[in-house]
Amino acid sequence: MKRTTSVNIGGRVFNMDEDAHEMLEYYLASVAGQFENKKERKEILDDVENRIAELFSARINSFRQVITLDDVNDMIRVMGKPSDFGAEEEIFPGYPDKKGYRRMYRDPDRRILGGVCSGMGAYWHIDPLIVRILFLVAFFGFGIGLLIYLLLWIVIPVARTTAHKLEMRGEPVTVENIKRFVREEFRNVKKNIKL
């Protein structure tokens, strides 16, 4: 019999056994230690916690209510071990690299109307202009381009979080990729403010 602890991760409450809680605390401390004295630290750690909460939520169902050490180990395999971004590897050995999960989202950052074309462009790694031209051809040539666009606007969800934006591009949602993405967004904001 193991004790369980209620833990708030990314605004969601999870019950964790003692071993899992200890491993998660060590992991988060290792991640936080990599971002001391950095402006984007809070944003990166919030995104990491939100992604961990998403991964743990997928493990919970009506029959299984407690996060175990195996769940934390699986989360580390997906997110990346701390040694990938400079921390110790002592208790995180042998985690394989994992390819990114790809999912279609609407891209709110490069949108003109609803972000459908820019999301499709990011998903297929092509210029969104090509997708926009195809929709215009379908609209003027066949008369159904607008209907298809509106249908896709309704069906495809918008990429709101950093994890969604990474999945849209087919990149793995790891701490290193979240850190890189947040830094790029900070640079873009600074650049736009200077203009």
Give the separation between CA 81 and CA 109, rounded to whole angstroms: 30
Q: Which pLDDT belongs to residue 35? A: 67
Q: How high is the mean pLDDT of the chain?
A: 79
Confidence of residue 175 (pLDDT cuts 50, 70, 90): confident
Nearest-CA neighbor of 133 among 150, 145, 147, 148? 145
Q: Which residue has the tokens 């926009």?
A: 132
CA distances, 100 to each of 118, 142, 171 (Å): 19, 36, 4
Q: Which pLDDT belongs to residue 82? A: 65
pLDDT tens-digit map of 120-171: 888 888 898 988 898 888 888 877 888 888 888 999 998 888 888 888 887 8
pLDDT tens-digit map of 81-128: 766 655 444 444 433 344 556 788 888 888 888 888 898 888 888 898
Q: Which pLDDT belongs to residue 97? A: 41
Q: Which pLDDT belongs to residue 91? A: 40
Global confidence as pTM = 0.55
Please write down the HEC assignment for all residues of the chain: CCCEEEEEECCEEEEEEHHHHHHHHHHHHHHHHCCCCCCCHHHHHHHHHHHHHHHHHHHCCCCCCEECHHHHHHHHHHHCCHHHHCCCCCCCCCCCCCCCCCCCCECCCCCCCCCHHHHHHHHHCCCHHHHHHHHHHHHHHHCCHHHHHHHHHHHCCECCCHHHHHHHHCCCCCHHHHHHHHHHHHHHHHHHHHC
Q: Greater confidence, 159 or 192?
A: 159
Q: Greater confidence, 150 or 38?
A: 150
Residues 6 or more apart from 55 whose CB is under 8 A from it? 74, 75, 78, 79
Beta carbons of 29 and 21 less than 8 angstroms apart: no
Nearest-CA neighbor of 38 among 188, 191, 183, 187? 183
